[in-house]
Amino acid sequence: VRYLFLWFINMGLNKNKIFGYTALVIAIIGSSLILIGLFKYPEYAIGFSIAGIGFFAIAWAFNALRGRI
């Protein structure tokens, strides 16, 4: 784990890459929430789907902010 962290430091992350990676991680979390709601808890799928769409909206906003901040 330590070497992975050092790799990220040496990678030369600027603000745009950080926003891009954050948007990707948040979109993956949103997708997993939607899929968990559909397959594991179908009776609560609406709630999981709404939360997943919220995560997608936040990821979209982060992606839109790339290059502007």
Q: Is the pLDDT of residue 6 over 60?
A: yes
Burial 20-55 (b: 16+ CB within 10 A, else e): bebbeebbebbeebbeebeeeeeeebeebbebbeeb
Integer distance in angstroms from the first to the last C-alpha of the chain? 30
Which residue type occupies 56? F
Write down the mean pLDDT value for the chain: 86
Average of pLDDT values for 30-58? 95
Which residue type occupies 51? A
pLDDT, tens digit, 9 for 90 and up, residues 47-65 = 999 999 999 999 999 889 8
